[in-house]
Amino acid sequence: MSGRPHRMLEKLGNLFQIRQPLPGLLGLGLALVFTGLVLMAWWGITRGPVEERVVSSVILPSPQEIAESLPDLINRRQLFDNIQVSLVRVIKGWGMALLLVIPLGLLMGAFGPVRAFFGPLNVIAGYLPLITIIPLTFAWFQGESQKLAFLTMACFFFMLPLVIAAIDDIEEIFLNTAQTLGARRHDLLLKVLFPMALPEIYNAARLAFGVGWTWIIVAESLLADAGIGFIFMSSYRFEKPHMYWTALIILLIGFAADQLLGWLGRRLFPYRYL
């Protein structure tokens, strides 16, 4: 019997090895345990009559109150239509950013003069908080174009250093080998640097979509009349349950989109995951 506790302690110790992956479904199980504890604590501090609760329902509604508000959110506030509006905005902004940042990042990574000329953009990407772009977009754009401009800038400035780094990481031996075989400058650019950097550029684009989606609340917080971010901000004062629902929906859609893009990346670039 004395050996059993020792073996259990040994197995427990093995779980805490540095960078040791968890076996099987243990990781999922631990995440579910954490989620369950949070939900139990939430239920505990919001149960009972409103006047007797530890936390006011104005600050934190109960799980039941939030669940009961879902039909109103779907029907009266047209949840699915607003989700569609936000998704279209993010996809448009993300797509415009890709069209701008991929060729620019490729040229900046390949040619010193181009990198020097557009260097201030890289400085902005590294040191300017995205939130400061909001007032600028209001000054420069109007209506729907303001939201698209902000999302485009957010994705663009996030991706630019990553695209340049992807080009920088290509080892010189590949360029030297291609030149030995007679490759010209445009061949080096389009047939060596770009294809070899493409998996990392794709990963940067995947992350940039997440950035655009997480900033949707900010993009739709002012002068908006539709979108999931609009519902979130307009629910702050009088419809708190809707605010919690929209936060959860933003989280789930962002996670699902990231998983979908990750799955697609594994199909497009299987050699990257070997």
Spatial distance between the Cα atoms of 266 and 274, rounded to a whole number of angstroms: 10
More confident residue, 201 or 51: 201
pLDDT score of 19: 73
Q: What range does the domain containing 116 cover?
A: 70-273
Boundary-marking domain end, from 5, 35, 62? 62
With 60 as the cut, is the pLDDT of residue 274 above it? no
Spatial distance between the Cα atoms of 194 and 106, rounded to a whole number of angstroms: 7
Q: Do the domain assignments include residue 2?
A: no
pLDDT score of 5: 66
Number of domains in the chain: 2
Output DSSP code: residue 129: -
In a shared domain, residues 144 and 204: yes
Spatial distance between the Cα atoms of 114 and 120, rounded to a whole number of angstroms: 11
pLDDT band at 258 (very low <50, low <70, confident <90, very high): very high
User: Measured on CA atoms in the order 49, 53, 59, 63, is the torsion positive or negative?
Assistant: negative
In a shared domain, residues 176 and 263: yes
pLDDT score of 264: 94
In a shared domain, residues 82 and 43: no
pLDDT score of 11: 67
Spatial distance between the Cα atoms of 246 and 264, rounded to a whole number of angstroms: 27
Q: What are the tokens at 83?
A: 């989700």
Q: What are the tokens at 268?
A: 């497009």
| Average pLDDT, rounded, for the chain | 86
Q: In sequence order, which residues have a C-beta less than 8 Å from that of residue 194 and are 6 or more positions away?
A: 106
